[in-house]
């Protein structure tokens, strides 16, 4: 029997996995809007939604920033501030403000520009 070494505290139970607080966030100052926006890591299903949308819309005017920020901007309760239908309205906001939020969302979710370009191609 082959064994693999792991790092950390041993095998996790389903309950431990499901109860883990694994969606870190970062509060981002947005002086253009007069306050702060909380950006959190996407849930797995949200990441799937974003990637599916990117692939389906390759080569079209996409509003990538609006979509990613809509999926990642949350309130104090951790619930999304925007519906995906509001992503196009976010696309009408300040590019400087949206770039700041987009950059944090990309970093928190382990996505770089190359990752997004690769998804668009595939």
Q: Can you give the pTM of this predicted structure? A: 0.82
- CA distance linking residue 80 with residue 74, whole number of Å: 4
Give the rounded percent of residues in the chain with a pLDDT score beyond 70. Answer: 85
Domains in the chain, please, with CATH? 23-121 (3.30.2220.20)
pLDDT per position as a tens digit, 66-105: 999 999 999 999 999 999 999 999 999 999 999 999 999 9
């Amino acid at each position: 029997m082959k064994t693999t070494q792991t790092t950390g505290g041993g095998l996790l139970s389903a309950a431990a996995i499901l109860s883990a607080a694994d969606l870190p966030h970062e509060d981002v100052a947005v002086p253009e809007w007069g306050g702060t926006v909380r950006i959190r890591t996407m849930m797995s299903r949200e990441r799937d939604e974003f990637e599916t949308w990117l692939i389906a819309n390759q080569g079209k005017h996409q509003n990538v920033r609006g979509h990613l920020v809509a999926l990642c901007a949350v309130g104090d309760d951790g619930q999304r501030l925007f519906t995906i239908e509001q992503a196009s309205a976010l696309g009408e906001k300040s590019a400087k403000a949206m770039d700041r939020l987009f950059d944090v969302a990309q970093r928190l979710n382990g996505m770089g520009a190359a990752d997004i370009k690769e998804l668009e191609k595939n």
